[in-house]
Amino acid sequence: MSWQARVARFVGLNLTRPSLARQRDPRAARAHFERMARRFCRLPPRSLLLEAEEGGVPGLWISNQPQDDGVILYFHGGAYLMGSPRTHAALAASLAQRTGTRVFVAGYRLAPEHPFPAAFEDALAAYDGLVRRGHRPESIVLGGDSAGGGLALALLGHLCREGRVPAGLFAFSPWTDLTFSGASLVTNASRDQVLPAHRLTETRAQILGGARPADADDPRLSPLYAIFPAAPPVLILAAETEILRDDAQRMRGRLPGAEIRIAGDLPHVWPMLHGWLPEADDTLDHTARFILSCLRPAAES
């Protein structure tokens, strides 16, 4: 573990997680997330941001010296309650810089104002919008983190079942099981540097709105219960000590061909700390190589 990771662990356990545990108002949590992203997440040089809509879904197109026609459709994290294309612009720009690929970060609707399945509907609309614009499925890579990683996987399951398979998918610390059946929700409750496990039931109620907790196994919300016929290459990454570790590991049962990497004692969605945390930069370098490997067949055809 790098010294930066040790610092991140101290800050997470003593500041970040306690702060999230206290946040009860989604609007206040969103404002706090936006402030933290502006303060700590820096755009790489020469990053270009353009507000746009795809399929009626607002978002940001992000590029950094684009070199090919492939695109990344990225879904931000934030427990379906907070986060935005702006909070994740620096992460998306780092991927754009490493791959020469443009990234569209979708600003899907958030709960509790827009409960399930609003986020999934927007994810599908954004994908369809890219296809209508002329991007072939084999030139689109899906990506996301935390809730956004789960959303990307849910969308992938839907597209696989329809026979409209994209080039690939990557997910950082994805939230894949809102039935809460993973053992790491309990075993890592005191070790997770970011997420307060005791808030998950309350968060799920806000996401579901009027739906029952029994509906949490809907594959549009919990891709652990989806099927993925003829799945493309998939890369899933999570930390050993986070509560969502088993959400990542158990996806192997649904995606036996996926590359699932479990890192050490790192924060939830540690790639957001790129440029400061060496482990984050290493992970993004590996993810960039994976993205390019997914897009290479389309470029050669």
Give yes or no: 268 in active site.
yes
**Torsion-angle region of 41 (φ positive above 0: left; ψ -120 to 50: alpha; else: beta):** beta
- Work out the end-to-end distance of the chain between its first and last CA atoms, rounded to an integer number of angstroms: 42
Exactly one of 54, 63, 158, 242 is catalytic; name it: 242
- Residue written as token pair 């009027």: 210
Beta-carbon contacts of residue 294 (< 8 Å; ≥ 6 apart): 141, 167, 168, 232, 233
Task: Determine the Cα–Cα distance for residues 92 and 41; give it in Å rounded to an integer.
Answer: 11
Find how far residue 135's CA is from the centre of its chain: 21
Task: Determine the Cα–Cα distance for residues 113 and 125; give it in Å rounded to an integer.
Answer: 19
Exactly one of 139, 268, 274, 279 is catalytic; name it: 268
Transcribe 20-57 into DSSP letters: HHH---HHHHHHHHHHHHHHH-PPPTT-EEEEEEETTE
Give yes or no: 88 in active site.
no
Exactly one of 63, 84, 146, 184 is catalytic; name it: 146
Give yes or no: 84 in active site.
no
CB 44 within 8 Å of CB 115: no
Beta-carbon contacts of residue 221 (< 8 Å; ≥ 6 apart): 116, 117, 120, 150, 154, 178, 207, 215
Q: Which two tokens stand for residue 71?
A: 């695109």
**What are the Cα distances from residue 69, in Å, to 22, 63, 97, 249, 270?**
44, 12, 14, 32, 28
3-state secondary structure 185-249: HHHCCCCCCCCCHHHHHHHHHHHHCCCCHHHHHCCCCCHHHCCCCCCCCEEEEEECCCCCHHHHH
Task: Determine the Cα–Cα distance for residues 13 and 8; give it in Å rounded to an integer.
Answer: 9
- Please give the positions annotated as active site: 146, 242, 268
